Structure 1
Amino acid sequence: MDKREFETVTNKVLVSGIVQGVGFRPLTFRLAEKYNIRGTVQNKGGMVEIIAQSSQSDFEAFIKELKNARWGGCEIVNLAVKDITESKPEQFTEFRIIGSTAGRKISIIPPDLAVCDKCREEMYQKSDRRYLHPFISCMSCGPRYTIIDCIPYDRENTVMEDFVMCKECGREYKSPSDRRFHAQTISCHECGPRLIFRENRELKDEEAYARAAGIIKQGGIIAVKGIGGYHFVCSPFIEETVQNLRKLKGREEKPFAVMFGSVSEIEEYCHVTEKEKILLESGAKPIVLLYSDNQRMAFSTYKGSVYCGAFLPYTPLQIMLIKDCGPLIMTSGNISDQPIIREDAAMLSLKSPLLDGVLYNERRILRSVDDSVAKIVDKKPQLIRRSRGYVPYPVFLQDNGKNMKIFAAGGDLKAAFCLYQGGSAVVSQYFGDLEEAAVFDEYKASVGDLGGLLQMTPELAVCDMHPGYLSSKYAETLGLPLLYVQHHHAHIASVMAEHHMEGKVLGIAFDGTGYGTDGHVWGSEFMICEGGEFKRAAHLTYTPVLGGDPSMKDAKKTAACFLLNSGLDRFINDDRSGIIKSALDHGINTILTSSMGRLFDAAASMLEIADVNSYEGKCAVFLEKEALLAEKNHIRPRQMSFGITEKEGELLIEPGPVLETLGSEWSERKEEDEKALRRSLALGFHCAVAEAALKVCLIVREKKEINQIALSGGVFQNSVLTEHLIQLLRKSHFEVYYNMAVPPNDGSVSLGQAYIGLMKGR
């Protein structure tokens, strides 16, 4: 037996991960008491330091339970133990939580946490002093990222410093036996925050809530302050109300997300699988895209989509409103394409006869964070918009001792930047389109904000090679060494980063647009990638299309361009065809594109599904809808296939044969069979794209012996295509990887850029 087994030993323990803002120090305190540990625990920079004095056996039991503890949002990434007994440390008589100190180690900052089950129970217990308290929280729940001013995470470093704890909250905060022991967001009815409702007069507390709920029940629209900004809130059942909401936001077509009280309530309106239920109830509480065929809500809520963006309440106030008012549209409080509003003054100054009041409080929101959006693909969760509940949790990369600090600018659409240091890649929240000046301003301000919060100053900037991207122009102003990365290479690299892929990878990047190394517009790229390098292996044949953003929205014009290029003029259904042909023949405002997204637009227009992208991707979304309904109704896909040729070492995918099948079948349709034929052709198109991708992968594997496939790009938000392609690839024994921690759309680009910067850096 080790003679030190029962002797007093002193160990220093450094813990990194999500260990601040999640009740880790109180948890450590309780375990220390359980195992007779004396010493201290404190936040130290971005880590937690424990000095533990005890017998060796007690210490080992303490560490074992600490490592395996599951508490709130806590996640230990690394735990290092150093025996300091020989250094004759201070002798302790008890275990204490002591004051925090600053440090140089980068912090892993917790995301905002949804209200926990225990707090939900308390808020509906009439005997509890926090009965119906709209800001109830504890160590395991409540806002974090949106209220932290700096680290370490202590109350005085958050916006909660504005609220003086009452005597009872102070007692709970200092009591080791209380579950609000050192809970930095602790509050109650007495010490605030408190509700305020503003219309033509100001109401507070219970009166404020009652008036706000009453307006919603009467068919009105109110703004409600949340964790990362405001929501516009109204009933999804009243057509006139929802139309008014669209006028208020300037949002004509895109479906609204709906918040429900429980999964069982969601099941009354949507189809929910077991995997989708788990995602809905996860700690992040994202909006989850669910298949829905219900006709009970106002048409303007879904606008013809087969997907309902459903989510569960994640704040106490939301729980109260849903309980009293039923399911509610809970959409971002902004005018379309503008940043979500977080400042009280900005919302209160939004004068509109369509907005019936503002329900808010005086707790400041330091940074805007929109709701996250996710869905289940391949029986796994996939993010579509990464924000609240996920940001700023990092994606962990293999640093290999390079010790680099990188700023990756991302792209201009669905903008998100990335800060990398010490193996942690922190992808920012979603911002939107940087062409909107207010969005770009928010993006730039957030770079400095998050860098300061993480105590990180970048040494290398990485950006897209598109010469007109605002994100790239911003990176150029930073005065740092600059690396330009091709857009689709960054997409594929994001998958490689997530899954720690090594060796050669065949990446497939399908999207709407990306600046290619030859100056043309790419968008259907098969790339052989290894480390930070790539070689283009295949793509759609180039099609001349009329350029400019308005043309990208005009799917009918895009269809005419594709048909003209394939010699299929007879199928063009556009009165402007003569003008379009003349412009293409004379090279007027013409670009060459290999975009898969534009091909989806063309197919949607040819089948008379949609002609205009009134919001990004609308035509492709409604093409997918018809394919999905074909599957749901057991309609067989029409057989069609792409041609594949080889030129100068690259495989070229020819869309002409598929377009000819679509055109000939649709032109010969009979009215009574129109719906079924459209769905059969839409599904056949999806299958043909998946089969063409498989053929390319088989040819490349035969030549290059590559078996790893990485899928990324906005087109892979299409579940029908993605599921079909994954199944085909796996049947051919490929290893298939795709984005999960970041979206497949341009929200993943900054992570891929950071990865390439790390691979190509010193």
Structure 2
Amino acid sequence: MDKKQVVITKRIKVFGMIQGVGFRPLVFRLAEKYKIHGTVKNIGGIVEIIAQAFEEHVNSFLYDLESNSGNEYEIDHIQIEDIKEKPYTEFKIIKSSSDQEVSIIPPDLPVCKKCQKEMDAIENRRYQNPFISCTACGPRYTIIEKLPYDRGHTSMEDFVMCQTCNKEYTETDSRRFHAQTISCNDCGPYAIMNDRKDKEAISEAVNILKSGGILAVKGIGGYHFVCSPLIEETVLNLRKLKGREEKPFAVMFENIKSIEEYCIVSKEERDLLESKARPIVLLYTREKGMAEATGKGGIYCGAFLPYTPLQILLTRNIGPLIMTSANLSDKPIIKEDNIILNLKSPYLNGVLYHKRRIVRSVDDSVAKVIDHKPQLLRRSRGYVPYPIFLPQGDKENTDLEIFAAGSDLKAAFCLYKKGSGVVSQYFGDLEERSVLEEYKSSFVDLSTLLQITPGLALCDLHPNYHSSRYAKSLGIPVILVQHHHAHIASVMAEYDLEGPVIGVAFDGTGYGSDGNIWGGEFLICEKSEFSRAAHLQYTPMLGGDTSMSDAKKTADCFLLKAGLITEIQDDRLPVIKGAIENHINTVLTSSMGRLFDAVSSILSICHKSRYEGECAAMLEKEAVLALRKEISPEKVTFAFNENNGIIEIDPNPVLKTLCQLRNSVDRGSLALGFHYGVADIILKVCEWIRNKQNINTVALGGGVFQNTVLSERVLKLLREKNFSVYVNMAVPPNDGSISLGQTYIGLMKSFNSKNSESRDNLMVK
């Protein structure tokens, strides 16, 4: 008999981002196309297919499945086995079941083009529906209560489908066949404002916003405070509502054309803006500006496109809108209706909401394009909880499940199981009690959702970190990880680098293994181990972590160390000098982040950071403006010397040059020269290490590498000298990457421990 005419039966297990994207209906339609009989169902986070047909038909079915021509899902891998099974007479989508396989949960998806077209068609029954969705779009992670992803396991279970929606949901040729978020104007949810619903509610909201009012608007992962970015008084009122916040506000635009009126948009930035994640993208601003209070004089505008139908309707009717997280001061984003409805403020003019529950709060993601590639600065909505795939090791390690606690600033934890590292959404600063509680409850929530029971925890070396204390409270073995080692390990995790690599870790603060505050580090990293090869020279700093916002005081400390006391113009000088000389409330720091702050103050650009990183951001702004004006950078040079086999980088020559020239040379030239001087010393130190240790791979990590001018200059210089250079892209270079790096170090320690060695010997209990 012709082999092609033999009926075969295969069990196919599909792993990847296939939940919540209409994958089972797509499998059903492919099965019909190729005359396949059998079944498809969810098992936990994977999909199992029983395919029975002639061999050539099964092969064609598998080819189409793997080719994913519509780019509607992401397959990590497929397992196929031959089975003996009873004859099937049709193909069915059958009831889901649970399993212990790794679950890959879909992030929230933006409204698709087909739904937008329906929303704009006056004859369509979903005309101007603010919650239109299908199998390819809509909320996912923020509405899932448990797996598998079925309607009854989401907050959509609160809304009974009307007959027409139910028909679409069950008809195999419908775009909404098994679309769990299916809804319409008849069955809800509905837009609500005061006693009005849907079109009337949206119309009232539009009128308030056009007249300069401020609204709270319910989104996918929480509420936004919304207002016009063009009216100065309105934006100032928004800052009062938020609690004297000074950070620039993100602005949502109707389309790319609207963004281009205010911002410079490259092709790569356009692609990022229009990507499925719909992040806030930091773009260089044009001269045509918004209200001064919107951007606060920054060089960037955080621009993003609508990702919900309701946002489309609002921006279409009004134009650009500030869409900032509805939180007060540093507290978590508000997701509960009762809290926002009971918020009393003279600056809040109403609430536009709906009754679809937000199961978990998720803030907007933030990204930028660097080196012509997208780089995440805040990994949250649209990306979480899609995993980062990490090594699994041998069979003895496949049962390893990990919790990595991350850092206290820009907090995010990581959960690992069977090769998948899921980095949580961004939480903020754990010093704020309500943020810490949100962090803890989210760990319980996500570990339950992913069916992960960690047997190992990793946390920062800092003895006073809230994240570290929480990890130690779980009653499982704990590994302490040095902060900057974790930064470099996160880059190694992204690119599957075992090392050795030269790790350049530049940030504001991190607890060093010698008890000092690190932040300007060159490390040699290989697998789970590291050694310190070079660092910025230690400077005594008054006040430690708590005074990091005072750049003028930071500058005083650097100038005192450099012997430039006559260059200090600060009434507090006698007190600061006395405290440092007598070692009162001082710490030693090698922080490159603090040096950026000091230079910003020395050049009279910014003396105080009203939000994290403001002084460094304003310094970068001056460098960017110098580049735009084609102003040549003033040459500034670091010195360095070897001390007991470790390079110490001396900033004193740089500080002396800046002080000598700050009143006679263009400020932009000096700012740009400082950036180039930092890039030059990175190159020199990396070349010194390569000559000594024959290492040609460099990993860049830490919050300082959010600076585009510095990062692109460093990449250029190192590549010209034939270094292989890697920088965080899938996770932020800032502390949002720490938990991924900790996870990688935990894996490497476990993989490399000898079979006879107890894993407990690697732990700090």
TM-score (norm 1): 0.97
> Given residue 234 of structure 2, which amino acid in structure 1 is its aligned partner?
T
Partner deviation per Cα, 1:570-628 (whole Å, 9 max, x = no partner): 21121111111111000010100000010001100000000001100100000000011
Counterpart CA distance in 1 for 2:747 and 2:692 is: 29
Asked if residue 67 in structure 1 is aligned to residue 58 in structure 2, the reply is no
The answer (yes or no) to whether the contact 1:15–1:78 under 8 Å persists in 2 is: yes
CA displacement 1:276-309 (0-9 Å, x = unmatched): 0000000000000000033431000000001000
In 1, distance between residues paired with 2:60 and 2:372? Answer: 38
Q: Is the 8 A contact 2:165 2:182 kept in 1?
A: yes
What's 1:110 paired with? 106
Within the candidate set 353, 358, 367, 1:374 is matched to: 367
AA aligned opposite 2:721: S
Cα distance in 2 for residues equivalent to 1:325 and 1:235: 8
Spell out, residue by residue over 1:308-334, the C-alpha distance to the aligned partner (whole angstroms, 9 max, x if none).
000000000000000001110011011
Residues 261 and 288 in structure 2, CA contact (< 8 A), matched pair in contact too: no
Q: Match of 1:581, as an amino acid? A: K
**Match of 1:126, SS?**
coil
Q: Which residue of 244, 247, 254 maps to 1:261? A: 254
1:498 corresponds, among 491, 494, 498, to 494
- Give, as a single letter, the amino acid of the residue that structure 2 aligns with 1:174: T
Checking the alignment, whether the CA contact within 8 Å between 2:6 and 2:55 is kept in structure 1 is: yes
Structure 1 counterpart of 2:103, one-letter code: S
- State the shift of 1:549 in Å: 4.2
Secondary structure, in 3 states, of the residue corresponding to 1:5? helix
Distance (Å, rounded) in 1 between the aligned partners of 2:695 and 2:731 = 25
Matched, 1:15 2:8: no
Question: What one-letter code is carried by the residue in structure 1 that aligns with 2:77?
Answer: N
Mapped pair 1:706 → 2:695:
yes
Aligned runs of 1:396-411 on 2, under 5 Å?
396-401=389-394, 402-403=397-398, 404-411=400-407
**Paired letter, 1:595:** S
Q: Give 1:4 shift.
A: 2.8
Moved more, 498-507 or 521-530: 498-507
SS of residue in 1 equivalent to 2:87: coil
- Gaps in structure 2 of 5+ consecutive residues: 751-758, 760-765
C-alpha distance in structure 1 between counterparts of 2:80 and 2:103, whole Å: 19
Equivalent positions of 1:159-558 (< 5 A) are: 159-198=155-194, 202-401=195-394, 402-403=397-398, 404-558=400-554
CA distance in 1, matches of 2:602, 2:220: 44
User: In structure 2, how many angstroms separate the alpha carbons of the residues matched to 1:527 and 1:72?
Assistant: 40
SS at match of 1:553: coil
Question: For the residues of structure 1 that align with 2:310 and 2:363, how far apart are their CA atoms?
Answer: 17
**Regions of 4+ moved over 6 Å:** none
8 Å Cα contact 2:245-2:329 kept in structure 1: no
Q: Secondary structure at the match of 1:308?
A: strand
Mapped partners of 1:252, 1:197: distance in 2: 27
1: CA distance between counterparts of 2:70 and 2:159?
A: 26
1:664 to 660, 664, 683: 660
Which of 680, 703, 707 is 1:691 aligned to? 680
Query: Quick one: distance in 1 between partners of 2:567 and 2:625?
Result: 25
* SS of 2:367 mapped into structure 1: strand
Quote the offset at 1:503 in angstroms. Answer: 2.8
State the secondary structure of the residue aligned to 2:5: coil
CA distance in 2, matches of 1:192, 1:283: 25
**Equivalent in the alignment of 1:734:** 723
1:154 maps onto 2:147 in alignment: no
Q: How many positions carry a matched residue from both structures?
A: 748
Task: Tell me the distance in 2 between the aligned counterparts of 1:70 and 1:683.
Answer: 46
Structure 2 SS opposite 1:387: coil
Match of 1:636 in 2: 632
Spell out, residue by residue over 1:397-455, the C-alpha distance to the aligned partner (whole angstroms, 9 max, x if none): 11112221000000000000000010000000000000000000000000010001101
Shift of 1:146: 0.3
Match of 2:671 among 682, 705, 716: 682
For residues 255-284 of structure 1, give each alpha carbon's deviation from its aligned partner in whole angstroms, at most 9, with x where no partner exists: 000000111111111000010000000000
- Following the alignment from structure 2 to structure 1, what is the Cα–Cα distance between the partners of residues 720 and 180? 52
Separation in structure 2 between the aligned mates of residue 399 and residue 574 of structure 1, nearest angstrom = 56
User: The residue matched to 1:709 in structure 2 has which SS?
Assistant: strand
Partner residue of 2:762?
none
The CA deviation at 1:695 is 0.3
The residue identity in structure 2 corresponding to 1:426 is V
Query: Within 1, Cα distance between the matches of 2:263 and 2:636?
Result: 33
Cα distance in 2, alignment partners of residues 712 and 549 from structure 1: 20
Amino acid at match of 2:148: P
Q: Is the 8 A contact 1:23 1:72 kept in 2?
A: no
Aligned residue for 2:763? Answer: none
The answer as to whether partners of 1:381 and 1:740 remain within 8 angstroms in 2 is yes
- Deviation of 1:46 after TM superposition, in Å, equals 1.2
Distance in 2, matches of 1:632 and 1:295, equals 16
Deviations 1:453-481 (A, max 9, x none): 10110000000010000000000100000
Q: How many angstroms apart in 1 are the aligned matches of 2:57 and 2:479?
A: 52
2:51 corresponds to which residue? 52
Long gaps (5+) in structure 1: none
State the alpha-carbon separation in 2 of the partners of residues 15 and 51 from structure 1: 11
Cα distance in 1 for partners of 2:652, 2:578 equals 21
For residues 277 and 754 of structure 1, what CA distance do their matches in structure 2 show? 33
Distance 2:110 2:458 in 1: 34
**DSSP 3-state at the match of 2:689:** helix
Shift, 1:69, TM fit: 1.4
More displaced 10-residue stretch of structure 1: 2-11 or 653-662:
2-11
Is the aligned partner of 1:30 residue 2:29? Answer: yes
Q: Answer whether contact 2:252 2:320 (CA < 8 A) is retained.
A: yes
- Structure 2 counterpart of 1:322, which letter? T
Contact in 2 for aligned 1:236/1:329 (Cα 8 Å): yes
SS at match of 1:685: helix
- Paired with 2:288 and 2:25, the residues of 1 have a C-alpha distance of 49
1:504 to partner: Cα distance: 0.6
CA displacement at 1:502 relative to structure 2: 2.6
Of residues 629, 643, 663, the one that matches 1:647 is 643
Partner residue, 1:40: 39
Shift, 1:72, TM fit:
6.1
> 2-side partners of 1:272 and 1:210: how far apart?
32
